[in-house]
A and B are shown apart, each in its own frame.
Chain A
Amino acid sequence: MTRAAFSYDFPHRHLISVADLNPVDIRIIFERAAHWLAVNRTPDKSSDVLKGLTVLNLFFEASTRTQGSFEMAGKRLGADVVNFAVAHSSASKGESLSDTARTLAAMRPDIMVVRHSATGAPRFLAERTGLAVVNAGDGMHEHPTQALLDSFTLAQHWGEVGGKRILIVGDILHSRVARSNIGLLNILGAEIRLCAPPTLLPSDVDQWGCDVFHDLDDALQDCDAVMALRQQKERMSGGFVPSAREFFHLFGLTHERLEVCSPDVLVMHPGPMNRGTEIHTKLADDPEKSVILEQVESGVAVRMAVLELIGETIRRDFHSREAGQ
């Protein structure tokens, strides 16, 4: 189905939560991402769809891969991309988020890509500045483009994500990746399983529409994809889990344990990986099963799609305001 057949324009100026998206929005994003994925594999990657627009990367938390992915996406689309590493500048001088936002908005960028350690910071910035905002991760809340690129990667293999059984294993309690993935996979109609020690699960997790497991071997039964989450080292020393090695023995992904999965099971990881804690190094590098590097490639394409669609909305809104005056 082409976009014209929907007779529906992508309506969003922001991407703050996966819950803002409906299945058609997701389909449009995936369709454009597939286009950019193909373009990115050619030597002629440059486009001018965002020419004239300025994308501001506003990262209050250190990030290399997500920021790099957004920067590459914006530049390939012809936008002017400016990186503000706020961790090292105004915030450390004691400026409030509100003042930082208004200062930057006064420079007239069009899209702000925001990562912040506090839940709700991207929405706060969207409300304070009126700019289009893409959430690149807020606290333990959401990381919508990561969820989109994960599902997009799976859709590239399967066509449809709906109806598939997908397991997320690891520190779900502290994971914005898990929260966004659960939300998105629910919209797409996948069967979601979660597996973690009880100390790394929210206490109301049974309300999330997922099957919850504490035993990895049970959880892996007949899964079509398994997503390992990154385990933070400081949570592996007795506070939440006794040790990294106990975690690996109980929850680490290995070839042997995956034998109860679907034979074509796909293994995912949002990166950066701790080999030997959440995933066996040989499994991480197995090209038959691991799609970890495909996720990174999909990331640029999905972010291009999101920036492109939001750029269209910005232009459409601008023109309709002009026409109305």
Chain B
Amino acid sequence: MSETSLAIINARLVDPASGHDGPGGVLIEDGVIVQTGGEIDVDAADAVIDAKGCILAPALIDLRCAKEAALTPDGETLDTLTAGAAAGGFGTIVLAPNARAPLDKADGFAGMNRGLAKRGVNVLSACGATQGLAGEQMAEIGLMVRGGAVYAGQGDRPISDTRTMRRLLAYTSQFDIWLSVRPADWALSAGTVALESDWSARMGLPAEPALSERIAIERDAALAELSGGKLMIDRLSTADGLAALRRARTRDQEIAATVAVAHLTLNEVDAGGLDSAFRMDPPLRSEADRRALVEAVTSGEIDAVVTDHRPTPFDDKGEPFALAIAGTMSLETALGAMLGLVHDGQLELVDALRVMTCGPADLLGLPQGRITDGAPADLILIDGDKPWVCDPDRFHSARGNCAWAGRRFQGQVLQTLVGGVTIYNQKA
């Protein structure tokens, strides 16, 4: 179904880019927003959606998700990934490198990227910064940027060698792309599975001090200043790290910071029962850390919230906490989890949406993520109050590792449009 023009009216229009939150609608022609506001000319439209009682917002953008290799039995394929993304309200997702798919080979990169494009959801790809993400030799970043890579990343692997980090920041600066690196001091964090805390000490878990993140941010910010590189803090997770970021930004440095949904909505107490579903990289932090990060979303210090969606085989999560593979699925639950913070009064809706729409769009220079004349009609309709329970069996993916399994959420995506075309409709 593709109308040439579509009007959405009577909605509560929330556009974080302009700060607008009020009654309104949009008129879409040929996949592009041509009119916004309260006076949409419905006679000009071939079709009209009356969105009374619904929130109309830009479709969400995720800078960090993962699928599995195409032929993995029961794996997360591109089809299931994009179906889950659409159901979760995402119009654009970025495949980020990880240990299983390091995205570090320039051969075929451009072809792979073209293959990603035609999926309803815009699927973009980042590239691995170092060969095998080992943090030693640079990958062919330049050739992969030519092939469409939108930033260079390192997965969960920090770069231990300071000189390598310096050179990577310098090398990537010539392409004006972000170098996205998990802030962790390698020696302090290698082999750990939890935050150094009273709980992890009692449990006897190998644990990293929160300081590890701060040390890495201070080092990398100094190197970015020296080299002129664009540093993206990949999944800030501690109050200590946030303080280090603030100090670096007082020097007028352009540093981006992302936070994973998990670190905004869960803490180490959730992992208290040693349920492997809560084994994360970075590990879940203290409640004080979580609250500091939520406040940093409100203050605009966090550029983007990422799902860090990571489907894993059942066997990998079937190990005890300390041995289980890290990560949780998150695309279909991210909005519900963020709306939970809104309903709790911890976050305003417009702030929650900003870090999932225009925030990430601005980092990559995308035209999406905003409701304005001329922008692509990538939009979502949300029922902000509808209660539901997270049931991984109902995910579009065959995988089900999810830290939010069984959680009660309030607020759900009703419809997702990309380029004016409906790619998900809850009623359908």
Interfacial chain B residues near A237, Cβ < 8 Å: 137
Asked if B106 is an interface residue, CB under 8 A from chain A, the answer is yes
Residues of B in contact, count (CB < 8 Å) = 21
Is A11 close to B, CB under 8 A? no
**How many contacting A-B pairs (Cβ < 8 A)?**
54
| With contact pairs A203-B226, A237-B137, A239-B137 given, residues A214 and B142 touching in the complex (Cβ less than 8 Å) | no
Q: How many residues of A contact B (CB 8 A)?
A: 17
Contact with B along A228-264 (1 / 0, CB 8 A): 0000000001111111011001100000000000000
Least CB separation from B168: chain A residue: A199
Q: Is the CB of A242 within 8 A of B167?
A: no
Is A238 a contact partner of B137 (Cβ separation < 8 A)? yes
Query: Which residues of the other chain, A, contact B136 by a CB distance below 8 angstroms?
Result: 238
Contact across chains for A198 and B174 when beta carbons are under 8 A apart: yes
Residue contact A242 to B141, C-beta cutoff 8 Å = yes
Query: A197–B171 contact, CB under 8 A?
Result: yes
Q: Mark B137-170, 1 if CB is under 8 A from A, else 0.
A: 1111111001000000000000000001001001
Cβ of A241 and Cβ of B138 under 8 Å apart? yes
CB–CB B137/A250 < 8 A: no
Q: Find chain A residues with CB under 8 A from B146 CB.
A: 249
B80 at the binding interface (Cβ < 8 Å) = no
Q: Evaluate contact between A243 and B140: CB separation under 8 angstroms.
A: yes
In angstroms, Cα B147 to Cα A263, docked, is 31
Q: Mark A168-203, 1 if CB is under 8 A from B, else 0.
A: 000000000000000000000000000001110001
Min CB–CB distance A199 → chain B (angstroms): 5
* Given A246-B143, A249-B143, A198 and B227 contact (CB-CB distance below 8 Å): yes
Say whether B167 contacts A246, CB under 8 Å: no
- Interface pair A249/B137, CB less than 8 Å apart: no
Q: How far is the CA of A27 from the CA of B171 in the complex (A)?
A: 40
Query: With A198-B173, A203-B226, A246-B106 as given contacts, are A240 and B167 in contact (CB-CB < 8 Å)?
Result: yes
Which B residues are in CB contact (< 8 Å) with A242? 131, 137-143, 171
- Which residues from chain A contact B143 at a C-beta distance below 8 Å? 242, 245-246, 249
CB distance from B152 to the nearest CB of A (A): 11
| Complex Cα–Cα for A3 and B142 (A) | 52
CA distance A315 to B134 in the complex (A): 62
Chain B residues near A246 (CB, 8 Å)? 106, 140-143
A308: min CB distance to chain B, Å: 44
Contacts A238-B131, A238-B137 known; A250 to B167 CB distance under 8 Å?
Answer: no
Q: Which residue of A lies closest to B226 (CB)?
A: A203
**Alpha-carbon separation in the docked complex, A242 to B167 (Å):** 11
Enumerate chain A residues within 8 angstroms of B167, measured Cβ to Cβ.
Answer: 199, 239-240
Across the interface, which residues of B come within 8 angstroms of A238, CB to CB? 130-131, 136-139
Considering the complex, which residues of chain B in the window 198-249 have a beta carbon less than 8 Å from any beta carbon of chain A? 226-228
Q: Cβ of B226 and Cβ of A199 under 8 Å apart? A: no
Report the nearest B residue to A203, measured CB to CB. B226
Give the complex CA separation of A240 and B137 in angstroms.
9
Q: Which 10 residue pairs spanning A and B have beta carbons closest together?
A: A238-B137, A214-B174, A198-B170, A242-B138, A242-B140, A246-B140, A238-B138, A199-B167, A199-B171, A199-B170
7 contacts between A and B (CB under 8 A): A198-B228, A199-B167, A199-B170, A242-B137, A242-B139, A242-B140, A242-B141
Given A203-B227, A238-B138, 18 additional A-B pairs, CB 8 A: A197-B174, A199-B171, A214-B173, A214-B174, A215-B174, A237-B137, A238-B137, A238-B139, A239-B138, A240-B171, A241-B138, A242-B131, A242-B171, A245-B143, A246-B143, A249-B143, A249-B146, A250-B142
